[in-house]
Chains A and B, each alone.
Chain A
Amino acid sequence: MELITTIKGIISLLVILGLAPVFSGLVNKLKAIFTGKIGAPILQPYYDLKRLLKKETINSGSSSFISNISPAINLVVVIIAAAILPIGFARPMISFDGDIILFAYLLGLARFFQILAAMDIGSSFEGMGAAREAAFSVFAEPIFFFTLGSIAFISGLTSIYDIYHSISLDNVSYIVFIIVCSISVFILAVSECSRMPVDDPNTHLELTMIHEVMILDNSGIDLFLYQYSSYIKLFIYAMLETSFFYPFGVKSYTVGIIIFIVVITALSMALAIVETITSRFKMKNIPQYLLFATAIGVLNLLIYTFTK
């Protein structure tokens, strides 16, 4: 039994690593269709990654060892974070009490190194991007703790797997939590993965970029590592969102997988629609948007307190 759980955990992680690019590809494809274009193939992210592997890696002459190690750290850390998340009802590879904190700060660590590497390169763009990323992440972090944290607080559990499994639909206020949480996790995903309306992943305008501008000077393997970890990161947030919907199925492995596929597809649809019909915010309005998501999380706690 123990062995099967471990195997399932490993399979989950492999699925995440394998499917992460296809999610980005799906969002882009849907976005293209909504705007009346044919769009790149869904597998385009894989082709891009393959192309990057063949390219030469060039680093700025003024950069130090930070630029060399940052891309690898970034990917490794994001993969470890991915190993904490469950797919369906399988116990993930890494799961222990308090892993919710580990999860949050693994992603924080990835960001830390990326910001450091951006400043290390010594271009004024990258410094600007690093400043923006750092400033907005200050507003993004509370979203995570007020949404997942509030459920942790309510359920009294501190492991992501346990938290999600404690959600039962018998309690009406839980349904409200799920709805509310999925909204704020969506906003969190949009901000952390630099999607619209916070950041435009398809823009070529270096002065408006947040995330993309930090990797402007990277190439070859380094860029491959950054790109791959950003695909995984987007997928991680999609999974966070998906997990809210598992309670709607009976607790079987297969049903969990089906829910996973359905919700992921629906989510890519939602992302694509949002990216099609909204325009980007003014940079100075982004904190307001993120604080709105935090406020939703606070609302969760209030609902809990008053319905108790």
Chain B
Amino acid sequence: MQTNKFIKYLALFRISFKDLLVWGWEAVLSSFMLMLYAVIAIIVWIAIYSFTGVKSINGVDLTSTIIYFAIISALMPFLSWSNIVDRLSADIRDGSIGSSLIRPMPYYFKIFFEDMSSGVFNLIISIAVITLVIYLGRLTPGAYVGAMFVFYFIIGFLIAELLGFIVGSLAIYLTDIYGIMVSINWMVTVIGGGMIPLVFFPAFIEKALLLTPFPFLAFVPAATLSGVISIGEAFSLAVIGLAWLAALAAIAYVMWMKLKTRINAVGI
């Protein structure tokens, strides 16, 4: 028997997607609930602009802010959180990680491709919303900005997946990782640009926050496409994004090795 790796992972993706479609409406609803959060942010910022009477904050006017949050609403379902956290922590707690290890594929790829299935579901919604934002906001991003946006979108997705793996694997030490999940969600929201565009902060705070991985899950891709940051600024962040990607991949690898040892030590 010859196993083609591509067919193997495609099969995993296919069955996970089919499994998700059983609960199709629930998946659509949860995606829209995440978007609702950005809609609230738009309403709040409209109120702030009109109450204070300012035309722009740090060079960003109300229209750009609305476009920024409209893009955030499209990114949130895809980038805000990875289902890997739930899958991995549940597999560790109930011991079903053992039954996943009997298949001829690495476990981390297995949960990644399973998560990709729900990711694609959200991606369809994200593309639809972003297309609508570009049309209604009369944006003309150009090929260079478009490419940068796609680049940061992929970086953001991979960072979300790796963070999810790292947090999920903490279940080997902790009985309940819900508190950490909530904390990281707040990090994405507050210091990742989910609620306040980072350019609204004083420059030194903005620079400091851009050194963390969280802006890559919301602010960097949204600000690149909406024009809140210039193409030059966006380009300069690539090194930080790639460095975080490499660092998180290394941490995830260490956690995987710890996880394997832990399974071996306590027989999860």
**A and B form one complex:** no
